[in-house]
Amino acid sequence: METACQMNNCFSKCFKEKLLNTELGFLIKQEGVKEGIKEAILILLLKKADTLPDDIYNSIMNQENQSTLMEWVRLVSETQNMEQIRKVINGK
């Protein structure tokens, strides 16, 4: 006989699998990917500088285009010049 915990885990697993196979599940996953990329950019920037300027932080957090975010990861990982990074991320 299954315990309540085992039954709950089975229900959660089945629900999760069904949800991920829907359009809503896909959108949730995409949002998670974008949030992860944003966090990676912030971590890389904080390794280069002790503080992160508000304008750069806000631009990163407001960006919703995944391709742009991936380009910023490349830029931040390859570039040491914070002013150059600021120009690209802020679009100036």
SS (H, E, C) the chain: CCCHHHHHHHHHHHHHHHHHCCHHHHHHHHHHHHHHHHHHHHHHHHHHCCCCCHHHHHHHHHCCCHHHHHHHHHHHHHCCCHHHHHHHHHCC
The total number of structural domains that make up the chain: 1
> What is the per-residue pLDDT for 69?
95
pTM, full prediction: 0.70
Quote the mean pLDDT of the chain. 83
Of the candidate ranges 6-10, 32-36, 53-57, the one whose mean pLDDT is the lowest: 6-10
